[in-house]
Amino acid sequence: MTGLFGKGYGFLGLAKETAKKTGWVLMGISLILALIFSTQQYPMSSMFTPLAVFMSGLMIYWTGN
């Protein structure tokens, strides 16, 4: 049985692959947010938002590995 990614994944493999992709997307979003916040004149406290997004993306990615 082949999953969405052309490999013989069951449900667990599919969930892991999805977690990896979600993690990458979240980490990418956090980098974009960090760039936006660093170019604007925001206080340093606003940098916690991209950091939190990055950390959650990292956790989701690790779950997928």
Q: How many domains does the chain have?
A: 1
DSSP 4-54: TTSS---HHHHHHHHHHHHHHHHHHHHHHHHHHHHHTT--GGGGHHHHHHH
Across residues 7-35, what is the average pLDDT?
Answer: 80
In a domain, 7, yes or no: no
Rounded to two decimals, the pTM is 0.56
Q: Is residue 61 pLDDT above 50, yes or no?
A: yes
In a domain, 53, yes or no: yes
- Report the C-alpha gap between 46 and 42 in whole angstroms: 7
Across residues 45-50, what is the average pLDDT?
Answer: 73
Q: Is residue 45 pLDDT above 80, yes or no?
A: no
In a domain, 6, yes or no: no
Looking at residue 41, what is its pLDDT? 72
In a domain, 48, yes or no: yes
Domain residue limits at 52? 12-64
- Report the C-alpha gap between 64 and 13 in whole angstroms: 9
In a domain, 54, yes or no: yes
Identify whether the C-beta of residue 32 lies closer than 8 Å to the C-beta of residue 15: no
Across residues 6-21, what is the average pLDDT?
Answer: 74
In a domain, 1, yes or no: no
